[in-house]
Chain A
Amino acid sequence: MLEIKNLNAGYGEIKVIKDVSLTLQNGSVSVLMGPNGAGKSTLLKSVFNITDIDSGKVFFEEEDITRLPAHALLEKGIAFVSQGRVNFSTLSVEDNLRLGAHHVQDKAEVDSRLEQVYKQFPILKDRRKEYAFSLSGGQQQMLAIGRALMSKPRLLLMDEPSLGLAPKLVKEVFKKIIEIRDNFDATILIVEHNLKSLMDVADHGYILVQGELVAQDTCSKLKNSPIMKKVFVGAFD
């Protein structure tokens, strides 16, 4: 459903991604791994067209989406959850969620999506009138994910959803991600550092080193592979 072909991207003069090609299967949870500075976030952002793409193409369901702006991607069914639990902090929880579907005109549809998100994250419903900044770290992450879900994405891109969360919460967020795949019928691509817990639940793994894709396989196979051990012990760092 997502196909990246020979992508070269970065920020202005700085070239980060070098000739990366990969294909995501429909309905899978894939994890993008690699040492610090490998370009994991940059690759994710390139799919969402918020980096400078030098060459290569990104296809979503056979359609070229390489140069589409964010609002067009959203309408196509791609959503992006950025790093660091980012929300509209001075707006209420409910306003945050509704803004995730600001491009949807049908009010009943928005309400039904809101209920669906509240069902997935009941704590957000309890605190729907509160400012986003008053939520705890884990709740803020759920709000960020919930807002992305409001656009009913078929492809959900997540940049380090576990960043800065306590270990117990990390497990909970990962559990939620799997639930989202099943309940929302979404394909998910995650950049993660917290590999051990995620590898147990994800389907596919991709390893990026210095902007190049060095390995890709199912998580169960990757888990015990020599290259994975190298990632774990930091041999690439």
Chain B
Amino acid sequence: MIFNQLLINGIIAGSIYALVASGFSLIYSATRFVHFAHGAIAATGAYFVYTFFSMFGLNFYLSSFLAIICTALVGVFFFAIIYRPLQKKKSSNAILLIAGLGIMILVENLLLLMYGADVKTLNFIEVAQGKEIFGAIITPLQMFIVLISVILLVVLQLFVKKTKFGKKMLAVADNPELADITGINAKQIQYAGFAIGSALAGVAGILIGLEQNIEPVMGTQLIVKGFTGAVIGGASSLPGSILGSYLLGLTENFGIWWLPSGYKDAIAFVLLLIFLLVRPQGILGINKGVRQ
């Protein structure tokens, strides 16, 4: 059943994109700028787990835990030393975007310098015989990826919607000036946004490391997909970014029913362009009517 197989492949891809996109969207909400180095931060997550697990020989779960913490710290570090000073100087969003590209190139090259250009693999879960579900084949690892991703996305959503801290985050995203007047500490919210968003990127990096190869430029691919997922779903809406990411994963995978698989990225870009032209606020983005 090729349909079911493509569906499952789409969901697996979407799960990873959703982790990247939701972190990206969280950071965008809290700071109102496009953190283009987000994919590169995810790549550091993969390299951290490679370092702890494959090089130092630590337990895999401990390695993952440490890697997620380290990735969050890397995100916060770049926010503190690059973005925040630029924000204080009231730099435009274009400058912050360029700064993000700069960080991305810097991180990729640092990874290249430290680990070399050859691809790394984690070999934690042996490539096992896939199980057949409704005629489609899915490996235990792939099930693990989807499960972890869905759990995290649900927890994140509950955190933002139900907790006071989450509400403050939404408030800063909605109107930073008003949040300031209301006495909400926007700086604290932005740091938290970077920490949580980067931690999610770390998880995405680890999951990809398990399933595919680890290489220095893997982040570029990730941010393109995460960004696309976030934009088509509605960049400032967390459920939107998640929905958009799954939609992207499915579209890419169903696209190769008709097109050679090399066109996957092209499909993503076409989808992005269509949404930017037709519905720039994304699927779940709110189009506020003006009422006087």
What is the interface of chain A, defined by CB distance below 8 A to chain B? 48, 50, 69-75, 80, 82, 86-91, 95, 98-100, 102-103, 131, 133-137, 147, 151, 164
Contact B170 A133 (CB under 8 A): no
- Closest B residue to A107 by CB, please name it: B164
Given contacts A137-B292, A164-B292, contact A74 B183 (CB under 8 A): yes
Contact A95 B184 (CB under 8 A): no
Contact residues in A for B286 (Cβ distance below 8 Å): 90, 131
Given contacts A134-B291, A137-B291, contact A91 B181 (CB under 8 A): no
Give how many B residues have a beta carbon under 8 Å from the other chain's beta carbons: 21
B234-259 with Cβ < 8 A to chain A: none
Minimum CB–CB distance from A231 to chain B (whole Å) comes to 28
Contact residues in A for B167 (Cβ distance below 8 Å): 91, 95, 98-99, 102
Contact B178 A82 (CB under 8 A): yes
Contact B182 A100 (CB under 8 A): yes
Contact B183 A90 (CB under 8 A): no
Contact residues in B for A137 (Cβ distance below 8 Å): 291-292
A75 to B94, CA, bound (A): 37
Minimum CB–CB distance from B180 to chain A (whole Å) comes to 6
Contact residues in A for B288 (Cβ distance below 8 Å): 89-90, 133
B25-66 with Cβ < 8 A to chain A: none
Contact residues in B for A100 (Cβ distance below 8 Å): 182
Minimum CB–CB distance from B73 to chain A (whole Å) comes to 26
Which residue of A50, A86, A133 is within 8 Å of B289 (Cβ)?
Answer: A133
9 contacts between A and B (CB under 8 A): A70-B180, A71-B184, A73-B183, A74-B182, A88-B171, A102-B183, A102-B184, A131-B286, A164-B292
What is the interface of chain B, defined by CB distance below 8 A to chain A? 164, 167-168, 170-171, 174-175, 177-185, 286, 288-289, 291-292
Contact B170 A91 (CB under 8 A): yes
Given contacts A70-B180, A137-B292, contact A90 B185 (CB under 8 A): no
Given contacts A91-B170, A133-B288, contact A50 B181 (CB under 8 A): yes
A134 to B181, CA, bound (A): 22
A96 to B292, CA, bound (A): 19
Which residue of B164, B180, B291, B292 is within 8 Å of A102 (Cβ)?
Answer: B164
A87 to B291, CA, bound (A): 13
Contact A102 B168 (CB under 8 A): yes
A80 to B291, CA, bound (A): 23
A137 to B164, CA, bound (A): 27
Contact residues in A for B182 (Cβ distance below 8 Å): 70, 74, 99-100, 102, 147
A137 to B175, CA, bound (A): 18
11 further A-B pairs in the complex, CB-CB below 8 A; given A73-B183, A86-B178, A136-B291: A48-B181, A88-B170, A88-B174, A90-B174, A91-B171, A95-B167, A102-B164, A131-B286, A133-B288, A151-B183, A164-B292
Contact residues in A for B180 (Cβ distance below 8 Å): 50, 70
Contact residues in B for A74 (Cβ distance below 8 Å): 182-183
- Closest A residue to B236 by CB, please name it: A90
Contact residues in B for A72 (Cβ distance below 8 Å): 183
Minimum CB–CB distance from A170 to chain B (whole Å) comes to 14
A74 to B286, CA, bound (A): 31
Contact A86 B175 (CB under 8 A): yes
Contact residues in B for A86 (Cβ distance below 8 Å): 175, 177-178
Which residue of A70, A95, A133, A164 is within 8 Å of B183 (Cβ)?
Answer: A70
Given contacts A90-B288, A91-B170, contact A80 B164 (CB under 8 A): no
Contact B181 A70 (CB under 8 A): yes
A100 to B185, CA, bound (A): 13
Minimum CB–CB distance from B168 to chain A (whole Å) comes to 6
A87 to B184, CA, bound (A): 14
- Closest A residue to B175 by CB, please name it: A88
Q: Of A98, A102, A133, which is in contact with the most chain B CB atoms at under 10 Å from its CB?
A: A102
Minimum CB–CB distance from A67 to chain B (whole Å) comes to 15
A111 to B183, CA, bound (A): 19
